């Protein structure tokens, strides 16, 4: 489970976030490309845009559920 206290600073404010346990596997960026981007210097993903509408929300939930290290959370406020 993602840890809110490890939330990476690149995340935009909102419900979904990526924490520092991200291993840069690219799965979230493939699953929800409108919402997740890669931070090249940090070699990790982050939430670049919170979901807008049910389709993007479903894609973000799929990314959360499929993340191999559970680095995506949805309690970011």
pLDDT in tens, the chain (77 residues): 899 999 999 999 999 999 999 999 999 999 999 999 999 999 999 999 999 999 999 999 999 999 999 999 999 76
What distance in Å separates the CA atoms of residue 30 and residue 2, rounded to the nearest whole number? 19
Residue range of the domain that includes 49: 4-73
Sign of the C-alpha dihedral, residues 19, 25, 27, 32? positive
Residue 68, domain CATH: 3.30.70.20
Burial class (CB in 10 A: 0-12, 13-18, 19+), 21: middle
Tally of domains within the chain: 1
**pTM exceeding 0.85:** yes
Partners of 17 in the beta sheet?
A: 73
């Amino acid at each position: 489970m993602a840890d809110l206290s490890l939330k990476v600073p690149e995340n935009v404010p909102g419900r979904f976030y990526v924490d520092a346990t991200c291993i840069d596997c690219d799965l979230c960026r493939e699953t929800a490309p409108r919402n997740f981007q890669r931070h090249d210097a940090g070699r990790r993903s982050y939430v670049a845009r919170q979901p807008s509408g049910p389709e993007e929300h479903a894609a973000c939930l799929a990314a959360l559920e499929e993340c191999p290290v559970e680095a995506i959370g949805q309690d970011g406020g």
